[in-house]
């Protein structure tokens, strides 16, 4: 089986690397060609363009940014793909977009699984990602087998689009945990407490979370390198807001985090990690 991987950023690069390390026949492509070089050195094939990758692979993973980016990549590949090719999309996109893409590919004799990821850049590097899969049961079963090298947990959560709906729920939880962490440590700082001690004690109790453990360390060291950027988080929150409106769900906590991150973005810090939300609290206090 020949695998393709499109999108070699902070997440996609390590993910493709795990496939290569597992001994799979992998062909990669990235808009910035220099990002293919480490994978070529590790044993991957490099496609000159998306058409060539689409023609040569049986299963193709994409890990790009927005709905329109996925659409553009698939539009370049699908006219040349072999019948029954399976496309696995790890991007976070609009749920409606995933449903539309699945229907479009199915009408052309192709298969699609929306499989957004969570676990951060560290999870990608360690091959310990959680993956929400939407699509036909047989397609998801094959997808889960293919992506094992970078998976901690993967499960089918429903039909096409359900993977993205679960990712929306995940991002809402991520936003709430980030808000709690930054509000907590900002309060501790203003109260004259040792925030390193606060992080250790509160993080070990009922107030602890993945955000406390991972983002808390970045806050303590004022390290705003991504990780996951403010720009990307706000992109995801826009999809959350649109999806919530369509199903009649209220997400006021997510809307608040988005507004605070918008302040950072307006100050030119869209490329900072989302843990820099702490700075927004500091500025307002």
Give bridge partners of residue 117 from the DSSP assignment: 131
Rounded Cα gap, residues 45 and 269, in angstroms: 36
Of 82, 167, 196, 245, the active-site residue reads 167
Neighbours of 247 (CB within 10 A): 9
Give bridge partners of residue 222 from the DSSP assignment: none
Q: Is 167 a catalytic residue?
A: yes
* Token pair 């699609």: residue: 112
Rounded Cα gap, residues 159 and 253, in angstroms: 28
3-state SS of 236-285 is HHHHHHHHHHHHCCCCHHHHHHHHHHHHHHHCCCCCCEHHHHHHHHHHHC
Task: Give catalytic residue positions.
Answer: 167
């Amino acid at each position: 089986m020949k695998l393709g991987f499109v999108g070699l950023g902070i997440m996609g690069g390590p993910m493709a690397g795990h496939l290569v390390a597992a001994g799979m026949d992998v062909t990669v492509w990235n808009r910035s060609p220099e990002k293919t070089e480490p994978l070529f050195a590790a044993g991957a094939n490099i496609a000159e363009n998306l058409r060539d990758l689409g023609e040569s692979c049986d299963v193709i993973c994409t890990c790009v940014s927005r709905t329109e980016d996925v659409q553009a990549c698939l539009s370049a590949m699908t006219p040349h793909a072999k019948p029954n090719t399976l496309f696995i999309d790890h991007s976070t996109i609009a749920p409606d977009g995933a449903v539309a893409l699945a229907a479009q590919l199915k009408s052309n004799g192709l298969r699609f699984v929306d499989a957004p990821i969570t676990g951060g850049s560290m999870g990608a590097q360690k091959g310990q990602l959680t993956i929400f899969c939407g699509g036909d049961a047989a397609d998801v079963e094959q997808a889960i087998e293919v992506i094992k090298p970078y998976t901690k947990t993967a499960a089918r959560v429903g039909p096409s689009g359900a993977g993205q709906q679960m990712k929306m729920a995940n991002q809402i939880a991520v936003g709430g945990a980030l808000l709690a962490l930054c509000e907590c440590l900002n309060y501790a700082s203003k109260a004259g407490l040792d925030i390193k001690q606060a992080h250790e004690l509160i993080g070990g109790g009922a107030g602890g979370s993945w955000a406390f453990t991972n983002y808390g360390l970045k806050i303590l060291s004022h390290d705003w390198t991504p990780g996951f950027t403010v720009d990307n988080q706000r992109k995801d929150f826009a999809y959350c807001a649109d999806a919530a409106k369509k199903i009649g769900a209220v997400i006021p906590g997510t809307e608040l985090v988005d507004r605070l991150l918008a302040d950072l973005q307006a100050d030119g810090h869209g490329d900072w990690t989302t843990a820099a939300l702490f700075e927004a609290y500091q500025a307002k206090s």
